[in-house]
Chain A
Amino acid sequence: DQQVKQNSPSLSVQEGRISILNCDYTNSMFDYFLWYKKYPAEGPTFLISISSIKDKNEDGRFTVFLNKSAKHLSLHIVPSQPGDSAVYFCAASRANFGNEKLTFGTGTRLTIIP
């Protein structure tokens, strides 16, 4: 049972344009969401997170939007740069201390076209 889904395995975007990566979840107990970026032969790197009490969080070129009623979150990257080419994973958890398990989606490979 895939509780966190990334339905687009790949996405190509022109350099300078906006990249939008989507993620859906089914477990209504999730209340903390994260995005990770992964290059080949490296571990995932934390990008940005959002708590369920917010619907938007911004950090530089990265913005995460959360729609709790739709159980959907998205990551916007503006403007997209060649170094953004990587696999992006969304993850969800319950933020209470003692429950640090992260449930990951299967990832979306983003390719930025120069």
Chain B
Amino acid sequence: DIQLTQSPSFLSASVGDRVTITCRASQGITSYLAWYQQKPGKAPKLLIYAASTLQSGVPSRFSGSGSGTEFTLTISSLQPEDFATYYCQQLNDYPITFGQGTRLEIK
């Protein structure tokens, strides 16, 4: 199984801040990585796939980068609606695995 480790697990930031979340894979997965946003009581929402492709309708302040084993999700200027939990997911092989999540809270 491909293990995904996100860092940090918890992040406190302010509106307008630039934040970066990292996802490390236990083996190389080229660009086969996606990012999801989940708000309390809601299903996860796809933000980015193929490491850097923005899903339709997702604001351009979200961006993704990386390949191989290290990936990042960046939010360029935090908005109030961005405070949520973020998960990475590998798209390389079964079994499907997710990172443990990064909780982004308002400072």
A, B bound: no
Which residues of B does A touch, CB under 8 Å?
none
